[in-house]
Structure 1
């Protein structure tokens, strides 16, 4: 799986994870996690809100997968299949 998928699956668990915690779980740099999260927000797969000083990310399960081979499926279907 891609690092984008790893970040998405980790955040789909519902825990409020920091970029540092995600980087340690996935095995990539914190900067890479920040770039991936920004990509996922820009593509509509994640929503971002503030909780005090922390960011909270919520997965948008109705987001459509981009690749033509998977475009008939949603993020929610992917998460359900992999968890």
Structure 2
């Protein structure tokens, strides 16, 4: 193995999971704050939120000038290999 192969970066969590964890911690969090905490751009966070809403994992309602998010924690995980646990069970582990 050369140095480039050993330095290849990967992570255990996707950006979608990171964004969802931030929202689960603080349903009134701003996109700007999610972006800062997840080391993403605000635009990337907005796209991820749209993905999560379209898939039914997340919804939002306007409260004045801000959004208040709601996580649909009874949803199953998306990948067939992850069949079994619900989103609530995954978040319970990640939010400890």
Tell me the TM-score normalised to structure 2 length. 0.81
**Which sits farther off after the overlay, 9-18 or 19-28?**
9-18
Residues paired across the two proteins, number: 83
Structure-2 residue corresponding to 1:69: 81
**1:47-79 CA deviation, whole Å, 9 max, x = no partner?**
111101211111111011110111222110100
Measured in 2, the distance between the counterparts of 1:14 and 1:22 equals 10
Structure-2 residue corresponding to 1:79: 91
Tell me the TM-score normalised to structure 1 length. 0.93
Q: Which runs of 4+ in 1 moved over 4 A?
A: none
Q: Secondary structure at the match of 1:63?
A: coil
Is 1:22 matched with 2:30? no
